[in-house]
Amino acid sequence: MSHISRPVKAIRNQENADARRERWRGHRQARRAEFVEAAVRAIGTYGAEVGMDDIAAEAGVSKPVLYRHFSDKSDLYLAVGEWGTKLLMERIKPALEEGGSARERIRRIVSTYLSVIEEYPELYRFVVRRNFADRPVHTDPVSTEKTIIANSLSRLLGEYLRSLDLDSGGVEAWSHGLVGMVQASGDWWLERHSMSRDDLTDYLTKIIWFAIDGVLRSGGVVLDPDEPLEFPPDLELVEGEGPR
């Protein structure tokens, strides 16, 4: 079992001086990315319940090729999740860097999030509603992605609170909670579309601001939600601590 012929993914970390390995490094990454994109396309076409065969077909290859680049279905799914998270973060980033008041910032982030899930509903469902009860928890793409976002928020919020000398003990819980809140609302909205995106954005912005405002007030800090914030916006992906 240990001597499979030419295992692509069995990357031995040892200093294998053979340049024949190095030659392919870049290519392998490119191929993986190519397959992820094919998967995204396939999801758009067939919906969230695509099979590996379909994805392989979409990529123009047969299944085993796929399995040379992804150890597993979950592995692929995880990669797709990363792709989505990256997309989301790229969209959110400019929304953040633009500055503005607290309320404006919140509003832009929420609005951006809703736009993205509205634009890629199938992908969204695929990533966020498909779970892997048959896998160890820490490999679950969804919680991984959510955790990454929540951790970013956590860091941002934590730094902010600490800069104001406030207790930041609840920051992690709150971050995960807020992320969950937006996700759940978005989920609900996506299925129903019972209000306009703008309205939902307003409501969510409101309640998020209320929550943050409450935390600040309880620490004795009163902030005008419409006053421009000078706090440096450096929301970045913090992969540091995944789920478990």
Binding footprint of DNA on the chain (CB under 7 A): 1, 4-6, 8, 16-21, 23-24, 27-28, 31, 51-53, 61-65, 67-69, 72-74
Query: For residue 95, what are the β-bridge partners?
Result: none
Nearer to its own copies, 8 or 219 (CB): 219
Which residue type, as a one-letter code, is found at position 104?
Answer: E
CB of 138 to DNA, least distance (A): 16
Query: For residue 101, what are the β-bridge partners?
Result: 228
Q: Which does 211 bind (CB under 5 to 8 A by kind): DNA, its own copies, none?
A: its own copies
Number of shown-chain residues binding its own copies (CB under 8 A): 55
Answer yes or no whether residue 191 interacts with its own copies by CB under 8 A.
Answer: yes
CA distance readout (Å), 222 to 88, 159, 168, 212, 219? 31, 17, 17, 11, 9
CB of 83 to its own copies, least distance (A): 17
Written as six digits, the tokens of 137 are: 């928890």
Nearest to 135 by CA among 200, 56, 72, 221: 72
Q: Which does 188 bind (CB under 5 to 8 A by kind): DNA, its own copies, none?
A: its own copies
Answer yes or no whether residue 210 interacts with its own copies by CB under 8 A.
Answer: yes
CB of 16 to its own copies, least distance (A): 37
Which residue type, as a one-letter code, is found at position 57?
Answer: A
φ, ψ of residue 228 in degrees (nearest 5): -55, 140
CB of 92 to its own copies, least distance (A): 18
